[in-house]
Structure 1
Amino acid sequence: MRISTELWLTLFVFALSSLAAFLTYSLPTTGLSTELGPAFFPWITVIGMFLFSVLLLVRSIWNKQIVNGETPSINWKLLAKLALFLVYMGLYATFYVQVGYLISTGIFFVLAMLTLGERRPLHFLVIPLIVTGGVYLVFTQILNVYIP
């Protein structure tokens, strides 16, 4: 049986959302007075990942992506990109507090865009600046949330 890349991705995201749900379960669900608790955003993320993995599974079955009778093949290029993203995320998490949000997120964003194949310098230099700066301004100025 040959399993499509789409189905492998679905299984990976489902497993990741299950792990995130397991880890999020131990977080407190209520915050101070009327504030949302620390588990609110992780649960929204877990639910979103789970729903999108189910939608991707339905789509892959609907499009008959599972072909019987063939040997499984692995998309090594995609697997290398996923591994590279895991390295990027590990480095991002490691240096986030020491370097700060703006620099670490900007570098992560540029590396991610280059890994995904973006080669236009204007895109992989300007878009990370706009998005990272915009998120920083929204959180620090509008929501009054400290970002290192």
Structure 2
Amino acid sequence: MIRRKTDCQLALFLMLFCAFAAWRTTLIPASGTGTRAGPDFFPWLAIIGIAVLALALLLRGLRTSPRPKPEAGAGRIGYGVLSLFAVLMVAYAATFERVGYLPSTIVMYVIGMLLLKERRVVHFLLVPVAVVLGVYFGFTGLLDVYLP
């Protein structure tokens, strides 16, 4: 029962956030660049994505029935792992410009997935490469923003 309530509350909070962000995004001046995305493109993309996921979370909260409690410690990530993840993010920030976007982000992504206990080889090798290349080509091809 607690999960249903939490999902619904979080979804409503996210929808309010999207409404606020949409209002503020309307204040961003259009660049008039024609086919290229302007300065308001990414905020609208993020708002739509968050709103869709918040709606899915709300629907999940309304549909799920109470589940039995998991066994103690199941699915939990300890403070040590989270601390290592924070150290990983600091190391990524320190090496990002020296090493370059593609290699540093792929390596960080794989190590992060391993820290968070992903053990399927296909997932921790193919997913980071696909996501990082998608983001890279999205920024360079669609937005003309070149990453280091």
- Residue 114 (str. 1) matches residue 114 (str. 2): yes
Partner of 1:48: 49
Cα–Cα, structure 1 residues 65 and 55, in superposed 2: closer, same or farther, change >3 Å? farther
SS for the counterpart of 1:37 is coil
Q: Tell me how far apart the structure 2 counterparts of residues 22 and 92 of structure 1 sit (CA, whole Å).
A: 31
Contact 1:105 1:132 in 2 (8 A): yes
Deviates most, 48-57 or 27-36: 27-36
Cα–Cα, structure 1 residues 106 and 19, in superposed 2: closer, same or farther, change >3 Å? same
Partner of 2:2: 3
Q: Tell me how far apart the structure 1 counterparts of residues 21 and 138 of structure 2 sit (CA, whole Å).
A: 30
Partner of 1:31: 31
Q: Tell me how far apart the structure 1 counterparts of residues 75 and 19 of structure 2 sit (CA, whole Å).
A: 26
Task: List per-residue Cα deviations over 1:87-113 (Å, max 9, x = no partner).
Answer: 379538834445431133112311332
Deviates most, 17-26 or 43-52: 17-26
Q: Tell me how far apart the structure 2 counterparts of residues 54 and 76 of structure 1 sit (CA, whole Å).
A: 25
Task: Indicate the RMSD between aligned Cα atoms, in angstroms.
Answer: 4.8
Q: Tell me how far apart the structure 1 counterparts of residues 98 and 19 of structure 2 sit (CA, whole Å).
A: 25
Q: Tell me how far apart the structure 1 counterparts of residues 132 and 100 of structure 2 sit (CA, whole Å).
A: 12
Deviates most, 99-108 or 83-92: 83-92
Unaligned runs of 5+ in 2: 68-73
With the length of structure 2 as denominator, give the TM-score of the two structures. 0.58
- Residue 18 (str. 1) matches residue 17 (str. 2): yes
After TM superposition, give the deviation of residue 122 of structure 1 in Å: 6.0
Aligned length: 139
Q: Tell me how far apart the structure 2 counterparts of residues 24 and 89 of structure 1 sit (CA, whole Å).
A: 35
After TM superposition, give the deviation of residue 49 of structure 1 in Å: 0.9
Q: Tell me how far apart the structure 1 counterparts of residues 24 and 91 of structure 2 sit (CA, whole Å).
A: 24
Q: Tell me how far apart the structure 1 counterparts of residues 133 and 44 of structure 2 sit (CA, whole Å).
A: 26
Identity of aligned residues (%): 31
Cα–Cα, structure 1 residues 76 and 127, in superposed 2: closer, same or farther, change >3 Å? closer
SS for the counterpart of 2:108 is helix
Amino acid at match of 1:40: F
Contact 1:136 1:147 in 2 (8 A): yes
Partner of 1:87: 86
